[in-house]
Amino acid sequence: TADGPGMAFLTGLVGHHGRFACRLYCGLPGRHKPGAPTYYPALRQPEGTDHLDHPDFFIDQLPLPGSFDYERNLERVIRCSTMAEYELARLETGITKPSIFCGFDTDRILLVPLCFGSDIMHIAAINTGDLLLPLWRGTFRAKTTDDKSAWAWAVL
């Protein structure tokens, strides 16, 4: 979404392409192709691949917002003394820096990260048609090596 880079700056979180991209800090890790930097919030491992980022998640067992121990993970990022340490902590926590909102009195606002608005991962209605219809019709843009005739979901 258009506010993604701005929200990443305000929240101190990695943003919508990071491994832990949820603005509500639910702890759902993303998946990526081996060697590719972009992560996607896919619950299940893609079929036909041996690359396993993490076990499958089921929709009825998703983590709660803010349940991913933000304070402890922020402390880990702050305590990094080398760039290599920082990059690993950023990848494993989804935190790039303390949010400016961490400086507010906690009696006056919701705690970080719960004080931030939701994102596309949590709003099912935005762009759903634009994403699902091309998948179901088999017209979704894909790599030339991807055999669209093997797409079991392309039924329209």
How many residues comprise the chain? 156
CA angle 67, 68, 72 (to 5 degrees): 120
What per-residue confidence (pLDDT) applies to 84?
Answer: 98
Please state the domain extents for the chain. 1-123, 124-156
Query: Using one digit for the tens of pLDDT, what is the confidence trace for 88-147?
Result: 999 999 999 999 888 888 887 788 888 877 755 555 555 667 777 888 888 988 888 888
pLDDT at 91: 93
Structural tokens at position 103: 């400086």
Q: What pLDDT score does 1 carry?
A: 47
33 burial class (0-12, 13-18, 19+ CB within 10 angstroms)? Answer: middle
pTM, two decimals, is 0.69
8-41 pLDDT tens trace: 888 899 988 889 988 888 888 888 888 888 888 8
